[in-house]
Chain A
Amino acid sequence: MNLIAISINHKTAPIDLREALHLNKDEIVELITLLRENYLAEGIILSTCNRTEIFGLPKDSLLIHEQIKETLIKYKTVTGIKKEHFVSYFSCSAVKHLFRVASGIDSMILGDSQILGQVKEAIQISEDLKFINKMFKRLLDTSIRVGKRSIKETLISEGAVSISYAAVQVISKIFANLDKKSALVIGAGETGELAAIHLRDKGIGKITISNRTKSKSDALADKVHGDSLSFSYLKENLHNYDIVISATSSEGFILSYDDIKLMMKKRRNATVCLMDIAIPRDIDPQSSELDNVFYNDIDSLKIIVDKNIKKRESEIPIIEEIIMEEMVNFFNWFNSLDVIPTIKNLRAFFEEIRIDEIEKIKNKVSDEDFLKIEEMSKRMIGRLLHNPTVNLKQLAENGAKFEETANSIVLLQEIFNLPNNNSNNQTID
């Protein structure tokens, strides 16, 4: 199979280069037009914040990796990119890479389930542009199946692998109905925003943002459909919240032990969850000594993250097995697209119909007439199948157009419901 792939990702290039090569949907459409004109017969372009990848079947020459890289770099007008920032794949290795990407084991956040949606989106763009044909579609569908199986059959997407999500995981081990709880997020920076978004996604009842710069807390509050609380009123309102997440860049403690003690007194000792995800810490860790106060800082949340990452890593061999299994299945099918077995199957299919019909009139006509009719039916089938047979053979003889042959064979198999010929099964390594 002549699949080629180029990839620039978090393992091969720094973030500034990855960002520079990132393509939005409109850019993908434009780049596909360029690649289609010059190099590729079919293909997809996958572009996320951590990777830009092009998979495709070449039009003529097989060694077009460099041209595709150049087209991409030229299109984005990026300087400073070297050869080693890209990885190139061909045939089996390209298929394997596609499956690894779809499964999430090649992602920066191991087991990131977002990548499957992004692969689907990339396929959809190419399908809309009619840049995918039957055989390539089968390969892409298999990659989606690999992604789905990885999520369903393994624990690769289980557990929190970011500090802010780990905080939410601990919170959901304390409270049952988050929709009846209120949360206060102190700090409207990147970490605070992430925590607020996770809480909103988990269906928190009420969310309030407090930040020294009021405009920032207002903006984040708008984003997560919450309220904004002035920083100067923070302490006197603290007791109204079941969950407090603090992520500021303050140098000292924002909330002292006495603040928390007073808060608990006002809350009549009702359970509270304090998540201090700031460095240096915002909340006095001594607060954890208080009854019904659950205090966590970055170090304790990192324990959860590390455990979950280890758990995900232990799932990689199972996913590699899934990838291997799907590759074997795919290539078994692919190898069944040989011309000769297909011609044989096609002829057998027509011959079966001919014999069936001839048998029906055997006792209705004389022996002499029967022989004539039989001869005529053989000639008719021979003539009907002459052109398809010759054309298929010609296609097969033109090695560079293998994908075209394969697509024709898939079409024949589909319209005549011909069996797949898996006699040439081979193991992929």
Chain B
Amino acid sequence: MISAIHGLNFVLPIFYFITFIAYVYDFVKEKSPLQNSKRLFLFLTLVIHVFYLFARTIEFNHPPITNKFEIFTVLAFSLAFSYFLLELITDIRGTGVFILLLAILFQFISTFYIKDLIDVKEVLRDRLLGLHVMSALLGYSGITISAVHGILFLMLYKSIKFKKYGLIFNRLPNLEILEKLSFYAMVIGFFLLTISITIGIVWLPQAFPKFSYADPKLITTAVVWLVYGVGLILKTFLNWYGRKIVVFSIVGFLTAMVSLLLSNLLSNSFHTFY
């Protein structure tokens, strides 16, 4: 089993890379022969990834969420899978290359640094932690996809505004669709992050009796949640749209990234497990 896991760990980035190249080729070339087959590549990659994640869970007796490199591979899967669903539902194919770029990045880092972990802290085997991490990861995928579509919105906005009718103009879907995709992904991301935070709050006093509400991870997470919350209120009740709301999505994403970095860099956070 271990050798199969190692084999899959090696094969996965190759599959992600091939899929990514197929998406790049299709993005650059109009009427490319890979228009439909690129989706098949992505599907195959996701199937292999599911096998890999299950194999790790069975072999090491814990879900792959106990260190950052395990989390990276789950994040890569979560991003690619979310995009796959998005493409299937909306049939919008022009943005895949940008989202898969992040997925491939996370998977490459994970493949190079991931270790076989059998002994993990008992606290990391808790079921609530599993739910907390999984909803957080899916939430992060949502806000990442939202931010990517937000950036693409700004790129297309500039392209039309400054009359640069190149690849971005030709291949991306229109501004309204990009804005909608960014907003829906933001709503889903916010909802899942709320679930994750709620579980965290319930679970925290049980797992860490001496935790502090002034913990940097808690503060930065609250800021991220507030940024998105304000964005959603402005969109829903004050009818904000276009560039303004997209900027909220990007700022929220950047805050989330800073929050992740801080919680990993500051050793005095209870959220540092490894």
Closest B residue to A288 using CB positions: B161
Which residue of chain A has the shortest Cβ distance to B166 in the bound complex? A307
A-B contact count (CB 8 A): 42
B163 touches A174 (CB 8 A): no
Which A residues lie within 8 Å of B175 (CB)? 173-175, 271
Q: What residues of chain A lie closer than 8 Å to B177, measured between beta carbons?
A: 176
Q: Say yes or no for A33: interface residue by CB 8 A criterion.
A: no
B273 contacts the other chain (Cβ, under 8 Å)? Answer: no
* Interface contact B176-A176, CB-CB below 8 Å: yes
CB of A296 closer than 8 Å to a CB of B = yes
Cβ contacts B155-189/A at 8 Å (1 or 0 each): 01000110101000100011111001000000000
A307 contact from B160, B165, B173, B243, Cβ within 8 A: B165
CA distance A426 to B175 in the complex (A): 54
**B160 A170 Cβ-Cβ under 8 A:** yes
CA distance A304 to B170 in the complex (A): 10
Given contacts A173-B160, A303-B165, contact A291 B243 (CB under 8 A): yes
On whether the beta carbons of B163 and A172 are closer than 8 Å, the reply is no
Asked if A82 is an interface residue, CB under 8 A from chain B, the answer is no
**What residues on A are CB-neighbors of B174 within 8 Å?**
172-176
For residue B242, which residues in chain A have a CB less than 8 angstroms away from its CB? Answer: 269, 271, 292
In the complex, residue of chain A having the shortest beta-carbon distance to the beta carbon of B159: A173
Q: Are A300 and B163 in contact (CB-based, < 8 A)? A: yes
Using Cβ atoms and an 8 Å threshold, which residues of chain B touch A170?
A: 160
Residue of B with least CB distance to A175: B176
Q: Check: A270 CB closer than 8 A to any chain B CB.
A: yes
Q: Is A330 an interface residue (CB 8 A)?
A: no
Instruction: Say whether A158 faces chain B, with CB atoms less than 8 Å apart.
Output: yes
In chain B, positions 232-274 with a C-beta closer than 8 Å to chain A are 239, 241-243
Interface flag for B119 (CB, 8 Å): no
Pair B160/A292 contact, Cβ less than 8 Å: no
In the bound complex, residues from chain A placing their C-beta under 8 Å from that of B165 are 303-304, 307
- In the complex, A300→B169 CA distance in Å? 14
Q: Tell me, yes or no, whether B30 is within 8 Å of chain A by CB.
A: yes
Contact A173 B169 (CB under 8 A): yes
Question: Whose C-beta in chain B lies nearest to the C-beta of A273?
Answer: B160
Residue A294, interface by CB 8 Å:
yes
The answer to the question of A155 belonging to the interface, with a C-beta cut-off of 8 Å to chain B, is yes
- In the complex, whether B31 has a CB less than 8 A from a CB of chain A is yes
A294 touches B30 (CB 8 A): no
Given the complex of chains A and B, what is the CA–CA distance between A138 and B214 in angstroms? 84
Instruction: Give bound CA distance, A294 to B243, whole Å.
Output: 13
> Which of B31, B160, B241 is in CB contact (< 8 Å) with A294?
B160
Residue of B nearest to A291 (CB): B243
Q: What's the minimum C-beta distance from A427 to chain B, rounded to whole angstroms?
A: 28
The answer to whether B176 and A174 have CB atoms under 8 Å apart is: yes
A176-B180 CB under 8 A given contacts A294-B161, A300-B163, A303-B163: yes
B180 contact set on A, CB distance < 8 A: 176
Give chain A residues whose Cβ lies under 8 Å from the Cβ of B156. 173
Q: How far is the CB of B93 from chain A (nearest CB, A)?
A: 15
Interchain CA distance A177-B174 in the complex, whole Å: 10
Q: How far is A300 from B156 in the complex, measured between Cα atoms in Å?
A: 16
B243 / chain A contacts, CB cutoff of 8 Å: 291-292
- Which A residues are CB-close (under 8 A) to B169? 173
Q: Give the distance in Å from the alpha carbon of A304 to the alpha carbon of B163 in the complex.
A: 9
A383 on the B face (CB < 8 A) = no
Let me know if A174 and B160 touch, CB within 8 A. Answer: yes
Q: Specify which chain B residues have a CB less than 8 angstroms from the CB of A372 in the assembled complex.
A: none
| Distance (whole angstroms) from the CB of B138 to the closest CB of chain A | 26
Q: Please, which residues of chain B bring their CB within 8 A of the CB of A172?
A: 174
Nearest-neighbour CB distance to chain A for B164, whole angstroms, equals 9
| A307 contacts across to B, CB distance below 8 A | 165
Bitwise, A154-183 to B at CB < 8 A (1) or not (0) is: 010010000000000010111111000000
Asked if A83 CB lies within 8 Å of chain B CBs, one says no
CA–CA, A293 and B103, complex, Å: 35
Q: Nearest chain-A residue to B238 (Cβ)?
A: A268
Q: Which residues of A contact B239 (CB under 8 A)?
A: 268
Chain B residues lying within 8 Å of A291, measured Cβ to Cβ, are 243
Q: Which residues of A contact B176 (CB under 8 A)?
A: 174-177
Inter-subunit contact B31/A296 (CB<8 Å): no
CA distance A291 to B243 in the complex (A): 9
CA distance A270 to B241 in the complex (A): 8
A175 to B173 alpha-carbon distance, docked (Å): 10
Residue of B nearest to A154 (CB): B31
Please report which residues of chain B, range 120-177, place their CB below 8 angstroms from some CB of chain A when the two chains form the complex: 156, 160-161, 163, 165, 169, 173-177
Contacts of A300 in B (CB 8 A): 163
Identify the closest chain B residue to A300 (Cβ): B163
Q: Which residues of B contact A174 (CB under 8 A)?
A: 160, 174-176
Contacts of B173 in A (CB 8 A): 176
Chain B residues closer than 8 Å to A296, beta-carbon distance: 163
Which residues of chain B are within 8 angstroms of A304 by Cβ–Cβ distance? 165
- B31-56 vs A: 1/0 string, CB under 8 Å? 10000000000000000000000000
From B160, B163, B177, B180, name the one whose CB has the most chain A CB atoms within 10 angstroms: B163
A103 to chain B, nearest CB (A): 16
Inter-chain contacts of A270 with B (CB < 8 A): 241
Residues of B within 8 A of A155 (CB): 30-31
Residues of A within 8 A of B241 (CB): 270-271
Chain A interface residues toward B at CB < 8 A: 155, 158, 170, 172-177, 268-271, 288, 291-292, 294, 296, 300, 303-304, 307
Task: List the 4 closest A-B pairs by CB distance, nearest first.
Answer: A176-B176, A300-B163, A176-B177, A173-B174
Name 13 interchain pairs, CB-CB below 8 A, sorted by A. A170-B160, A172-B174, A173-B156, A173-B169, A173-B174, A174-B160, A174-B174, A175-B176, A176-B180, A270-B241, A292-B243, A300-B163, A304-B165
* Given A271-B175, A294-B160, 16 further pairs, Cβ under 8 A: A155-B30, A158-B30, A172-B174, A173-B175, A174-B160, A174-B175, A174-B176, A175-B174, A175-B175, A176-B174, A176-B177, A176-B180, A271-B241, A288-B161, A292-B242, A303-B165
